[in-house]
């Protein structure tokens, strides 16, 4: 099947009237879509809660450990009386 045959076949398919769908497909699609939206919302909220907990834990750790302060030297005694 070359390009013009494919194009003609696609045009024939697009020009046909769409087939009627059974009525139960719509209710099933609405039910599944609602469930997907609820799951997506729950996952988004859980990720935001996880991000908030991680940032809170990092803040508490940073305030208690003070990683920006240089630790005191333990290899040489302090020099005094110079």
- 79 conformational bin, left if phi > 0, alpha if psi -120 to 50, beta if neither: beta
pLDDT in tens, 24-79: 999 999 999 999 999 999 999 999 999 999 999 999 999 999 988 887 777 777 67
The reported pTM is 0.58
Report how far residue 62's alpha carbon sits from residue 23's, in angstroms, rounded to the nearest whole number: 59
- pLDDT for 43 equals 98
Give the CA angle between residues 18, 22, 28 to the nearest 5°: 115
Helices (H), the chain: 3-15, 23-65
- pLDDT for 18 equals 84
């Amino acid at each position: 099947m070359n390009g013009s045959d494919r194009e003609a076949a696609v045009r024939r398919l697009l020009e046909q009237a769409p087939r009627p769908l059974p009525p139960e497909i719509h209710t099933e699609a609405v039910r599944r879509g609602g469930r997907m939206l609820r799951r997506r919302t729950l996952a988004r909220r859980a990720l935001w809660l996880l991000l908030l907990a991680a940032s809170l834990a990092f803040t508490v750790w940073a305030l208690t450990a003070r990683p920006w302060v240089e630790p005191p030297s333990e290899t040489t005694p302090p020099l005094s009386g110079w």
